[in-house]
Structure formats: C-alpha cells, structure tokens
Amino acid sequence: MKKIALLGSTGSIGTQTLDVIRKNGDKFEAVALVANNSYEKLYEQICEFSPKYAVIVNKNAYDKLKERDLGKTELLTGEDAIADVASLEEVDVVLTAMVGFSGLVPTIRAIKAKKTIALANKETLVVAGELIMKLAKEYGAPILPVDSEHSAFFQCLNGENGNEVERLLLTASGGPFRGKKESELKNVSVKDVLAHPTWNMGAKITVDSATLVNKGFEAIEAKWLYDVDFDKIEVVVHPESVIHSMVEFTDGAIMAELGMPDMRIPIQYALSYPKRIVSDFPRLDFFKLQSLHFEKPDMKTFKGLKLAIEAGKTGGSAPCVFNAANEVAVDAFLNNKISFLNIYSIIEKTLAARKFIYNPDLETLINEDKLAREFTEKIMGDF
C-alpha cells in the first residue's frame, strides 16, 4: 500500500489521480489532500477518501470548511502546511499537481524528506531545474514524470542503460488554433482558447497549450530530467495526441509511447512504478485511428514556444522571470483584462526589463519571481 500526498487534489490532475486511487484502493491510499480555494470539492474528497490531513490554503475557505464534519481528517491552512504534509514520515509518494510557482517550495521539502516525487507541476523544473535535480541527487529522491510527454520519454528510455540519445521528439497537439495565423488570433475569446481539441486540462494549462508556452516549458523540463541540450529536443506537432513522445537513438531507431489521450495512464504509471497494474481505461483502436499526422510548430505565430526555449537556453533566473510573467498574463487573459496575443508581448517586455542572475539559490528565485510579477502587473495597463 503506497501512501500518497496529493498537492492540488481539486484540479484536473488531482481529480484524475483520485480516480486512479479510487480504482486501486488496495494499492494506494490518499494520506493528505491539498487544495487552494475549492473547499466544496475538497470537502467531497475528504468525505470519500478520509485522508489523515487536508490543507486548504485560502483562509476564508478554511473558515468555511472547518465548520463541516470532517470525520478523522485534520484540517490545516496556509502555505507552510503544504510543505509540512509533503514531508510527512508516513508518505511514500508526493504527487505535485499544483499549478505554477507555488509548487516549488513543497517539492523541495518533499525531496529533502527523501520522498518519491510524482511530478505534474512543470513550473518546478522550469523555474529551478538545476537546483531541483541537484537536490534530488543529493537526497536520493526519485523524480517520476506525470506529464504524458515526459512519461513517454521515461518509458522509452527505461532499460536503455545509457544508450546515447540523438533526439527527444516532443509531441504537441497544436492546441485549439493549430494552422491559424496571427491575424486570426487578435479577437479570440477565453471560451475559444479553452476548447482544447484532445486533452481535458485546467484553464491555465489549456491557455499555455494554446500559446505553445506549455510546450516550451516541457522542452525545459526535458533538458533537466534527461540531461540533454536543447539542440537535441525537437517539437513535433501531432494533432491526434496518440503518440505521446518519441526517443531517437544514435543508430536511427526511434522508440515511441502510444495510447489514448488520457492523463490517468501516466498518473497510474508514476504511482505504480516500477510495476504496471491493470486498468479499465479506454484502449487505442488502430483500426478506427487509420492515420496519424505530423508537422512543424509555427513559432512565428505561436511565440510562446520560441520565447520559452530562449529563456531556457539563457538559463539562470530567466526561466523564472518568464514563468512569473506568463502566470500573471494568463490570469489577466482569463479575467478578460488583456487579449490573447498580449500574453506574448507582456512576457517579452518583462524578460527585456530584468537582469538575469546565474546559479540562483531558492531565496533568489523567490525574490526574482516576486519582482517579475510586480513589473508585469505594473505594465498591464499598457495593453
């Protein structure tokens, strides 16, 4: 029985993780559940899974939830409580599904507590990849990728025993606007952006998928997870989202991981690793599929991919600044304060304004994140 601390239990990845736990109650137990604001959904999860601990970060939500009958579950609040439950002695696996920079500190605490990290919070490696991988090695904390693309790389590389990689082929659906040009994106609505063609994700990640920022983040993750240079990472637009990514070796052989576009599959694999366990998830039917398509990403229209990779190549605090600007800009877009294309302009302006710091420690990254957000908020009125 693996005991799981689930950070971000009420989001898209969190609810799908609980579906995996629900279907495998003899193998996994949710010991701690963490949410930000969604106290009603967290309450439902507490009633069903009876975790030892539950954390709701928002104090107003905490005040409302603590009046409910929570059974034997101890309710906590505040950001420090997230890191506390992530490092509990009885926890075996910490699945980090929180969105954004907020997942960084709890992940570091969990690594220092030598927990297995099932990583679904891509911003952790985007912002602090060098620091995270160094700590994981120092404390012997395995990092198992939950993202479908990185789970695919992980599975394709499993058993290769150091065979040299020529390319990591990172697949992308292309998002809801694949094939469109910049002139067609000037007036797209939030509703248009959130209509992802193949994946069911939270709002922030869905916007990042539409801008291709998400794919840039995944390229940065790949650099750190698999210790490869950016010139060995190639993004391939694959609209069917059936091939979740591929690895090409120096002899020309390509290994690919295929499956339905269902996040529960890589979630379950991360929780059950190194074993595979039976699931009743939908299977891929090749006879219905018939054909697969591939194309190069349009980085001229969808600037997020190019900007993210450039920040990754710059290194130091540049990816941290990029992420902070993107988080603020995406939130503004979702609240109808700026247009879709303004997201790119805001990121570019913030990156141009900051002087990057190399080999940053955690304190420096937290400060750079704060300063970048303040700058981004300040220029928001220009758009």
pLDDT of residue 201: 74
Residue 376 within any structural domain of the chain: yes
What spatial distance separates the first Cα and last Cα of the chain, rounded to whole Å? Answer: 52
Q: How many angstroms separate the CA atoms of 295 and 149, rounded?
A: 17
Domain boundary among 145, 176, 195: 145
Domain that holds residue 103: 2-145
3-state secondary structure of 243: strand
Count of helix runs (H) and strand runs (E) in the chain = 16, 11
Which residues contact residue 316 at a Cβ distance below 8 angstroms, ignoring those fewer than 6 apart? 356, 357, 358, 359, 360
pLDDT of residue 149: 96
Residue 130 and residue 173 share a domain: no
Q: How many angstroms separate the CA atoms of 265 and 65, rounded?
A: 32
Helix, strand, coil percentages, rounded to 5, for the chain: 50, 15, 35
The total number of structural domains that make up the chain: 2
The H or E element that residue 241 is part of is none
- For the record, the structure tokens of 160 come out as 């290769």
3-state secondary structure of 374: helix
pLDDT of residue 196: 75
Residue 202 and residue 297 share a domain: yes
Residue 128 within any structural domain of the chain: yes
Task: Please report, to the nearest 10 degrees, the dihedral formed by the alpha carbons of residues 113, 55, 371, 322 taken in order.
Answer: 80
CA distances from 215 to 4, 28, 167, 205, 257 (A): 28, 31, 16, 10, 18
What is the secondary structure of 257-286 as a DSSP string? EE--S-THHHHHHHHHTTS-----PPPP-H
Residue 232 and residue 87 share a domain: no
Q: How many angstroms separate the CA atoms of 133 and 334, rounded?
A: 32
Q: How many angstroms separate the CA atoms of 75 and 79, rounded?
A: 13
Residue 302 and residue 378 share a domain: yes
Residue 170 and residue 139 share a domain: no
Residue 317 within any structural domain of the chain: yes
Residue 166 and residue 106 share a domain: no
Residue 170 and residue 90 share a domain: no
CATH number at residue 363: 1.10.1740.10
Residue pointed to by tokens 């694999």: 269
Residue 193 and residue 59 share a domain: no
Q: How many angstroms separate the CA atoms of 370 and 347, rounded?
A: 15
CATH number at residue 55: 3.40.50.720
Backbone φ and ψ of 288, nearest 5°: -85, -30
Divide the 383 residues of the chain into consecutive groups of 10 and give the mean pLDDT of each group.
97 96 97 95 97 96 95 95 95 93 93 97 93 97 96 96 94 93 94 81 88 96 96 97 97 97 96 96 92 96 96 96 97 96 97 94 96 96 85
Domain boundary among 110, 145, 180: 145
Residue 278 within any structural domain of the chain: no
Maximum distance among all alpha carbons in the chain? 63
Residue 249 and residue 360 share a domain: yes
Residue 268 within any structural domain of the chain: no
Residue 360 within any structural domain of the chain: yes
Residue 219 and residue 133 share a domain: no
The H or E element that residue 115 is part of is none
Q: How many angstroms separate the CA atoms of 144 and 124, rounded?
A: 13
CB atoms within 10 A of CB 261: 18
Residue 174 and residue 125 share a domain: no
pLDDT of residue 183: 94
pLDDT of residue 319: 97
The angle subtended at Cα 243 by Cα 242 and Cα 247, nearest 5°, is 170
Domain boundary among 79, 114, 145: 145
Q: Which residues of 166-191 are buried (b: 16+ CB within 10 A; e: fewer)?
A: ebbbbbbbbbbbbeeeeeebeebeee
pLDDT of residue 197: 73
Residue 124 and residue 7 share a domain: yes
Q: How many angstroms separate the CA atoms of 199 and 175, rounded?
A: 9
Q: How many angstroms separate the CA atoms of 242 and 289, rounded?
A: 9
Residue 254 within any structural domain of the chain: yes
Residue 220 within any structural domain of the chain: yes
